[in-house]
Structure 1
Amino acid sequence: MSEPVSEPLGKSPGKPLGKPLGDLGASVSEHDVVAVGCGPFNLGLAALASTVDGLDLVVLEEQPELTWHRGMMFGDASMQVNFLADLVTLVAPGHPLSFLTYLHDMDRLYTFTVRENFFPSRREYEDYLRWAAAKLPSVRFSHRVEEVHWDAAREHFTVHAVRGDGTPLRMHARNLVLGIGTAPHVPDALAALPPSRLLHTADYLYREADVDAAAKVTVIGSGQSGAEVTADLLGRNLDGGPAVSWLTRTASFAPLDYTKMVLEMTTPAYMQYFHSLPEEVRDRLTREQWQFYKGISTDTLEEIHELLYRRQLEHGPAEVELRFGVTVESAAVDAAGRAALSCRHRDTGQTFVHTTDLVVAATGYRNRRPVFLKPIEDLLLRDGRGRHRVRLDHSVELEAGITGRVFVANAETHSHGVSSPNLDIGAVRNATILNAITGREAYRLPKRSAFTSFGAPPRTS
């Protein structure tokens, strides 16, 4: 996708972006908000903040440019949320950084309308994100955050960062927003495999040469990523590619539950209800609601079945094996240099060894624990399981006497529910954060986002 050339979006009158404080061996500046990480959530925060009068926000991103799930950017991959779940529209439909404005700027608005498919491709969504980032002077790439300290005397956080050219920077702010995203997770059962025999779905398209060189590839895990990789492998298999195995511990290759009344449980209304519940109830609901976020789209399941049917019709391609209800308990390299997975069939308890050339771990992501927070780690309060205690406004509870605030984005599933990583909640969360920071209703939040009433009715005498 080509990078659009455009003028930066103008700031409303207010404090200048990055007021110099003097030369103390590093470039020093003062801001209202420093946001760390530039994925869709903090980019959306910058977009909404760009039209808030008097608010000085800067976003720091270590990488030199914005990329989004490049390792899973299949040519026909579609978003699972529609275009309204962009950076801004669900709280500010007239915002100049909406997806519709992007389409208009790219002269694709009319053809997108005629297309009558309101789910953009992943490639188009990434291009939209890059278009928005190019219009925001508050977003700074190649800026690595190294440490954050709390200055009690001045009542602000000091963010120590390094620019890509090695220039040290010091930024002061009363508010931090952490949007550093999640990291690919490889479970302990697979950790003993060498890199030559193991890859995570996040790196799948970067490792195509290894996939093509393998005689047999095994996918472990049955979420959307695992299903998309399996579909790609089945296509390769039809063209003479490797044998394919797909193993998962879930009780079936289960679909995402995207029925409309169930989707009401991904709304801001349900998020507020979820946050009000006791910790043990929230943890139970998170386990029970796995099909909201760990299932597979019905389109992908149908594609897989069609590929399997074609294989049955055409005969000849290498072996294909699909098994659910299988737990991988350990892994090692056998005498022949292949990956040997020690497995247990959950229904029968029977154990067996599965041998393969390459394992693709479709085992999800986990929240990162940022090293740069170590100097203030003791100030961030945690729950009984060591997770940050997060308020309804997405700020972390801090030790008494700390007047600054630390907000989190996509690190609060335990406190706000399984919808918190969803793109369609991003604009509402960012509006909530900006309202809390400014102390006013910078953006009007939805007051009725679901028809369902989630709590018990009021008590009657």
Structure 2
Amino acid sequence: MHEMPYDFIAIGAGPCNLGLACLTAPLRDVRSLFLERKAAFSWHPGMLLDGTTLQNPFLADLVSMADPTSPFSYLNYCKLQGRLYNYYIRENWYLDRQEFDRYCRWAAARLENLRCGHEVSNIGHDAASGLYQVVGRTAEGESFAYLARKLVIGIGGVPRFPDGCAGQDLSQLVHSSQYLAERARLQAGRSITVIGSGQSGAEVYHDLLQASKQHGYSLNWVTRAPRFFQMEDAKLTLELITPEYGDYFYDLHPTVKAEALDDQRSIYNGINQSLIQRLYALLDERRHRNAPATRLLSCMALESCRRAQDGRGWELDFRHAPLARRYRHRTDAVVFATGYRYQVPLFVNGIRDRIRWDQHGRYAPSRRWAVDHQNCEIFVQNVGLQSHGLTNPDLGLACHRNSRLLAELTGHDYYPSETRTAFQDFVPTEDSGFVALGREVVGS
């Protein structure tokens, strides 16, 4: 082991942990280290399409919602780039994805507590010292070993494919996360099918639709959802993405949580209004262009996916649930915009017995995202939709979570949170005039 023990080591440097690193950087009495296996920061490089934007306002940067005065804020980035007045005049409330990636790269380059090209292979725990041992290799092949009192695990998800793809070589399938790298190959075919109707699916479909006449391919957009729905962003609805709602959601019965998440799908899995408008306008304009055929199909759940017998293209079997009918479709290329799933990293095997797991083999986070049995040593980011609801994946709440994590990690509240952020009461208070009469048993 080299160097003195760190107060905490964080593994992974996506936007959540990157924001935590930025908030920790000015704290001279806190010794932290952030390890990232990639050689440099990158954020969904396969989906950095021209004209695509975040679904959160620019204030949901790495630090501003916890510390508006931070030198790592997006506005300070604009100032140092000599672009503050340009941004002011442009009135760009929602950042382009490419701009957000550039901003995050800028922040990462300024961090002394971040080491990229460091892949963690194992974590152990020494009972005598109470310290965690984090070991791995650098991109140059050199081994490293560090000690820490606490841990933050913040790695991203892996591409999710429908169950109907089971048995296929997933390396032969194109997920939306690889879209830009695969676009030229996709467009060489005569037909392309996009599966999935969330924001990523809409962005891929829109990009392919714009170029369909130039390349001459037909294009299909298919979803198992009952419709292509718009992201719900009414002001009072967005209060479901506040700290108060997160605390309320955490205390719900698991059955009620699952029902709530299903009901809230249009909030976190819909398409933003501006993209829907651009799509509809483009579809209408194509009527007059003699463009290749395109179809949008809802209620179509993929049941199986296999290579065509001639080795060219794919055969897809779908089930139309309302009609109880099955359909077969032949296409030269498929893009799966079907999201991500969390995969517990192998490097936690050495400390599995120190971690609390739920009945499905997932982390079981505490209210403040601790997963060790004492709720004070091992914390997680990027997981917990089932435990904390919509507050978990939302970029706008990352700063709040990081401020609370820092308080847990250090024992000092460097970035106090507002005591009230929602107008709604998710549970009637004692002074509300609503008197509790009793409680039903849920899930019995």
- TM-score under structure 2 length normalisation: 0.94
Q: 1:325 is matched with which residue?
A: 299
| Equivalent of residue 154 in structure 1, options 111, 118, 129 | 129
| Equivalent of residue 358 in structure 1, options 325, 328, 333 | 333
| Equivalent of residue 49 in structure 1, options 21, 24, 45 | 24
Q: List gaps (5 residues or longer) in structure 1.
A: 1-25
Q: 1:227 is matched with which residue?
A: 202
CA distance in 2, matches of 1:229, 1:380: 38
Deviations 1:88-134 (A, max 9, x none): 11111111111110000001101100011221111111111111111
Runs of 4+ in structure 1 displaced over 6 angstroms? none
Q: Residue 395 of structure 1: CA displacement?
A: 1.0
Q: 2:441 is matched with which residue?
A: none
CA distance in 2, matches of 1:276, 1:403: 17
CA contact (8 A) 1:388 1:397 kept: no
CA distance in 1, matches of 2:125, 2:151: 11
Q: Aligned in 2, Cα 1:82/1:404: closer, same or farther, shift over 3 Å?
A: closer
CA contact (8 A) 1:157 1:404 kept: no
Q: Aligned in 2, Cα 1:228/1:36: closer, same or farther, shift over 3 Å?
A: same
Alignment of 1:76-225 (within 5 A): 76-193=51-168, 198-225=173-200
Q: Aligned in 2, Cα 1:197/1:151: closer, same or farther, shift over 3 Å?
A: closer
| Equivalent of residue 8 in structure 2, options 30, 33, 51 | 33
Q: 2:402 is matched with which residue?
A: 430
User: 35-44 or 337-346, which moves further after superposition?
Assistant: 337-346
CA contact (8 A) 2:162 2:302 kept: no
Deviations 1:188-240 (A, max 9, x none): 31244556863000000000221121110001110000011110111011334
Deviations 1:27-73 (A, max 9, x none): 45410010000111111101101122410010000010011111011
Q: Residue 278 of structure 1: CA displacement?
A: 2.1
Q: List gaps (5 residues or longer) in structure 2.
A: 438-444
CA distance in 1, matches of 2:79, 2:284: 41
Q: Residue 76 of structure 1: CA displacement?
A: 1.0
The CA RMSD over aligned residues, in Å, is 1.6
| Seq. identity, % | 35
Residue 9 of structure 2 aligns to which amino acid in structure 1? V
Q: 1:278 is matched with which residue?
A: 253
Alignment of 1:255-274 (within 5 A): 255-274=230-249
Residue 210 of structure 1 aligns to which amino acid in structure 2? R
CA distance in 2, matches of 1:66, 1:197: 26
CA contact (8 A) 2:188 2:215 kept: no
Q: Residue 352 of structure 1: CA displacement?
A: 1.2
CA contact (8 A) 1:145 1:161 kept: yes
User: 353-362 or 193-202, which moves further after superposition?
Assistant: 193-202
Indicate the SS of the match to 1:181.
coil
CA distance in 2, matches of 1:406, 1:103: 35
Indicate the SS of the match to 1:314.
coil
CA contact (8 A) 1:214 1:357 kept: yes
How many aligned residue pairs are there? 432
Q: Residue 289 of structure 1: CA displacement?
A: 1.2
Q: 2:43 is matched with which residue?
A: 68
Q: 1:306 is matched with which residue?
A: 281
Q: 1:19 is matched with which residue?
A: none
CA distance in 2, matches of 1:367, 1:114: 40
User: 182-191 or 356-365, which moves further after superposition?
Assistant: 182-191
- TM-score under structure 1 length normalisation: 0.90
Indicate the SS of the match to 2:112.
coil
CA distance in 2, matches of 1:133, 1:377: 30
Indicate the SS of the match to 1:455.
coil
